[in-house]
Amino acid sequence: MLTFIINRMMTLAISLVVASLVIFTTIELIPGDPAAFMLGLNAEPETVAALRQELGLNGHPVERYWRWVTGMITGDFGRSYTYQVPVADLVMARLGVSLPLTVMALILTIAIALPVGMMAASKRNKPADWGVMGMTQLGIAIPNFWFAMILVLVFAIQLQWFSAGGFPGWDEGLGAGLKALVLPAIALALPQASILARVMRSAMIDVLAQDYIRTARAKGLSERQVLLRHGLRNALIPVVTILGLQFSFLIAGAIIIENVFFLPGLGRLVFQAITQRDLIVVESVVMLLVFSVIIVTFFVDLTYAWIDPRLRHSRLNKGVWS
């Protein structure tokens, strides 16, 4: 197990270095002057020169890359050009909205998808299964910003249970903060939960056809015990793979949903930064997102090993004849 973790950590470190190099190269080394780009077409040469100085664009690329990476490690992400505050502060504040939103959507996705998928698998080819398959098809087909608007129309405008958008801040209390995130989290989770429920269903159907399920039934386990004790964990292996991939979709989806609900999150920050050509912010936020996706992948790998003992003590296994 320890070798497995060390192995994965190495992969993680290498992925981070490669990702930072790619981001740095695309933003800083491609033709065109970032300072001129940020200031737009009508900028005075002196202003551009001053900004170049301020951004530290005059050094050698290797040195600048080093400064950027070491800066990030110590928490210094540079200063935002448009907001004139340290990017770190800006990102931290926005993270306070985006992180709870993503986590909430993730929890909703899992909480909806796993039971629904399991139920559909155990009632295969019966009305309940058809219902689930139909609903999830719809859930995947509906664009989530449109679904978000429907949610606003029904729950905010008609029923007035939630506010239509905006975020009161965590100072208003935990309840108020969470309440503002409910509709966005639902809108964000719907398509992902639909996909995951289908994955869960087919994984469970595969597992239920296995010999050890028949063994479990022969022991005298009830259908429910068979599903929960022997089915669920085995079916989770493909589900966790998809869930890991979905995390990045949730982050990307947040950019649109945060704009629909006027939430001051990372998504809106990066969206505004792009329109305002604030490359420092874009660079940092993208790196942060990449970092979080890589970390999630790391945890997905650990989860595999936790679920499947065969991976824990995996030796060189040469397939063909088992």
Partner 1 sequence: MPLLSVQNLSVSIGDNTLVDDISLTIDHGDVFGLAGASGSGKSMTALALMGLLPPQAICSGQALFNGHDLLQSSEKTMRSLRGRQISMIFQEPMTALNPLMTITDQVAEAITIHAGQDNNIHDDAPDDAHERAMALLDRVGVVGTTNHQHRYPHELSGGQRQRVMIAQAIALKPKLLIADEPTTALDVTTQAAILKLLAQLAEEDDMAMMLITHDLAVLAENTKQLAVMNAGQIKDHGATKTVFTSGEFAYTASLIKAAQFTPIKRPQKPRKREASPLLAVDQAVVTYPKSTRPAVDQVSFTITPQESLGLVGASGCGKSTLARAILGLEPLTSGGIAINGDPITTGQDIKSATRAMMQIVFQDPFGSFNPRHRVGRLITEPFHLMPQPPRDQNQAIAQALMDVGLRPDDQHKYIHEFSGGQRQRLAIARALMIKPNLIILDEAVSALDMAIKAQIIDLLAELREKHNLSYLFISHDLSVIKAITDRVMVMDQGQIIEQGDTETVMTSPQHPITQNLIRAIPRLP
Residues that bind partner 1 (CB under 8 A): 210-212, 214-222, 225, 229-230, 233-234, 307-310, 313, 315-316, 318, 320-321
Residue with smaller CB distance to partner 1, 216 or 288: 216
Please identify, using beta-carbon distances, which residue of 41 and 316 lies nearer to partner 1. Answer: 316
Cα separation, 213 vs 305, in Å, equals 22
**Smaller CB separation from partner 1, 76 or 308:** 308
Instruction: Output the smallest distance, CB 176 to partner 1, in A.
Output: 43
CB of 21 or CB of 126, closer to partner 1: 126
Least Å distance between CB 119 and partner 1?
16
38/119 with CB nearer partner 1: 119
Shortest CB 109 distance to partner 1, Å: 23
Q: How far is the CB of 3 from partner 1 (least distance, A)?
A: 11
Closer Cβ to partner 1, 75 or 319, answer by number: 319
Distance of closest approach, residue 318 Cβ to partner 1, in angstroms: 8
What's phi and psi for 86, nearest 5 deg?
Answer: -60, 135
Q: How far is the CB of 238 from partner 1 (least distance, A)?
A: 14
What single string gives the DSSP state of each residue in 184-240?
A: HHHHHHHHHHHHHHHHHHHHHHHHHTSHHHHHHHHHT--HHHIIIIIIHHHHHHHHH
CB of 214 to partner 1, least distance (A): 7
> How far apart are alpha carbons 43 and 33 in whole angstroms?
12
Distance CA 251, CA 192 (A): 12
At residue 280's C-alpha, the angle toward residues 277 and 286, to 5°, is 95
Please give the structure tokens belonging to residue 116.
């629904």
Is residue 176 classed exposed, middle or buried when 0-12, 13-18 and 19+ CB atoms within 10 A define those classes?
A: middle
Cα–Cα distance between 276 and 256 in angstroms, integer? 17
Question: For 52, how many CA atoms within 13 A lie in the half-sphere containing its CB?
Answer: 16
Nearer to partner 1, 27 or 302 (CB): 302
